[in-house]
Structure 1
Amino acid sequence: MSVISIGNPKGGAGKTTLALVLADQLHENGVKTAVIDADPNAIIAKWAAKRTKAGKGVPYTVVPRPTEGEMIQTIERLSETHSIVIIDLEGAASRMTSRALARSHMVLIPFNQSPVDAELAATAVALIEEESEALGRRIPYRLVRSRDSAAIATKTSKRIASAIEEAGLPTLSVGLVERAAYRDIYEFGALLRELNPTETSGLPRAQENAQALAEAVIEALRVEYKA
């Protein structure tokens, strides 16, 4: 069992998209997955409600925003029956975020390819390191490039990548590429495999990226927990 938290203090960093895409692919690969929607916007919970209303059913467990006092019990309860629990964290630092981090085996920090996003990702790293110090154990994390260019890297993204490398911050080997399919899964309350390639452009590439991303996350967990 692994608990993966996804967080960034900046809105629009791609946190919820990353959670949805990762849960989608883990489910597709037969991994029993649960998602705790701890974001005040409750986008994943709304996605699940949209599916239920359409009679599609929800393919993996989605728990709408638990209270601060319920967070640890919710994580532990889901961990007993699921292989991976994903937590879509709220943006701001809070006791709820702290409790989720304390139970996490891995934290994913999505960031857009901009200097502002890179700085805020560094703030998220500092929060994780503070929590690690308080717990007396290391909390593994990976920065994840969000809305990654499907074409060539820009000069700005190259500078950011260089700065991250110089700082020694671990980055997931695969980023989340900007794809229409990732917007459509929310709009249509769909899974990637349910989208129509005649209505969603670049769907096969999106599916390839999503699969590579899920594999990279599993590999990062294997690296951190060799046993």
Structure 2
Amino acid sequence: MPGRVFTVAQQKGGAGKTTLAAHLAIAWTQLGFTVATVDIDPQGSLSRWYDVRAEATGGNPGFAHARITGWRTQAEVEKLTRDHDVVVIDSPPHAQTEARIAVRVASLVIAPVQPSPMDLWAIHPTLDLAKQEKRRLLMVLNRVPPRTRLAEGLIAEIQALIDPPAVELADTQVGNRTAYAGTLLTGLSVTEAARKTQAAAEMQALAAEILERAG
């Protein structure tokens, strides 16, 4: 059975795409899945983290990684799904063709969105892209400030975007926590270097929820 493909996509830069992709990849390996990550973002941040991780782990990062250009994405992903349970794609924020291919090959599109009006407005191109490619999309509220209740207007904006089963909102929210960035600097993840923190619990819960929703 071919592996599941999760494309982390958001046309707005700075939404936390790469951070989410890295932490989820490790969370899935810890659940016993064979994982591959694919970096098609020209910035190459996921690839840089992978290099740091490879050095920090003595050349045993625990999962496969490929950095490729957009036109090769579909063939590479199809090859990786033959040997891996989960393939995680970090897609580019602005390159329309490459982002479209990454969405097209996805089992489920994961769209991180920060709880602000600007970010909610900016997610519409990603929603449209998933709709055009007939792919289900899961919005994940990311960098949610602690002890903050979302304003009623913002909640209404979020609810207006939900259109099951095409568009869903994850029950798990990801907080605005320094542990996410801090652990990546060392080549690790929160579920490795900060295992007893709320950040680790959030990421484990999100990884499990995504798998359940993907079926």
TM-score over 0.5 (shorter chain):
yes
Aligned to 1:23: 25
Q: Distance in 1 between matches of 2:11 and 2:47?
A: 20
- Corresponding residue SS for 2:197: helix
Aligned to 1:219: 212
Between the aligned residues of both structures, percent identity stands at: 25
Q: Is the 8 A contact 1:35 1:61 kept in 2?
A: yes
Q: Is the 8 A contact 2:35 2:87 kept in 1?
A: yes
- Corresponding residue SS for 1:150: coil
- What pairs up with 1:3-82 in 2 under 5 angstroms? 3-54=5-56, 55=58, 57-64=60-67, 66-82=68-84
Q: Is the 8 A contact 1:18 1:176 kept in 2?
A: no
- Corresponding residue SS for 1:177: coil
Q: Is the 8 A contact 2:49 2:184 kept in 1?
A: yes
Q: Distance in 2 between matches of 1:194 and 1:119?
A: 34
Aligned to 2:170: 172
Larger radius of gyration: 1
- Structure 2: any 5+ residue segments left out of the alignment? none
Aligned to 1:191: 189
Which of 197, 208, 211 is the equivalent residue of 1:204? 197
TM-score under structure 1 normalisation? 0.85
Q: Distance in 1 between matches of 2:150 and 2:138?
A: 22
- Corresponding residue SS for 1:178: coil
Q: Distance in 2 between matches of 1:62 and 1:35?
A: 5
- Corresponding residue SS for 1:143: strand
- Corresponding residue SS for 1:107: strand
TM-score under structure 2 normalisation? 0.89
Q: Distance in 2 between matches of 1:35 and 1:150?
A: 30
- The AA in structure 1 aligned to 2:212 is E
Aligned-pair CA distance for 1:219: 1.6
Count of residues in Structure 1 that have an aligned counterpart in Structure 2: 208
- The AA in structure 2 aligned to 1:163 is E
Residues 103-138 of structure 1, C-alpha deviations (whole Å, 9 max, x = no match):
111001111111110011122101211222xxxxxx
Relative contact order, CA 8 A, sep 6+: which one is greater?
2
Q: Distance in 2 between matches of 1:193 and 1:110?
A: 19
Aligned-pair CA distance for 1:56: 5.2
- The AA in structure 2 aligned to 1:189 is G
**Cα RMSD over matched residues?**
1.7
Aligned-pair CA distance for 1:180: 1.8
Q: Distance in 2 between matches of 1:188 and 1:126?
A: 36
Q: Which runs of 4+ in 1 moved over 4 A?
A: none
